[in-house]
Structure 1
Amino acid sequence: MTEHISQLGWRKSSYSGPDKDSCLEVQDHHPTNVPVRDSKNPGGPTLLIPAAGWSAFVTAVRDGAL
């Protein structure tokens, strides 16, 4: 599957740590996947997480399950 990932519109996850060693960035508004990358390496690989899986992951983090 190929999906266009813009270099604009990345935001730091509110669940990223306060130090510079654990910064996760995501892009919103992709219909099928959530692009995720390491903010320390913005030119590096981007993971495309299925939207339903990302939603379940965020819920688990909020609920303290992870």
Structure 2
Amino acid sequence: MNENLQDRFLNKLRKEKVQVSIFLVNGIKLDGVIDSFDSYTILLKNKVTQSVYKHAISTIVPSQPIKLEIL
């Protein structure tokens, strides 16, 4: 299976339960842990679970450095 970079990054954050800040294109900042994701959305869990459309995301910032395996 050949995952793309985005899937590898999101999956690493999800598996390790890394706290992230997600900045939307309208400037709103969302904080939480990635619960799951698919081609179009990310479920972000904090006190509640939010469904965030990927097309609305500008940047995802992990709270700690992430090391991805080189393919």
TM bin (shorter chain): 0.3 to 0.5
TM-score, with structure 1 as normaliser: 0.39
Which is richer in strand? 2
TM-score, with structure 2 as normaliser: 0.37
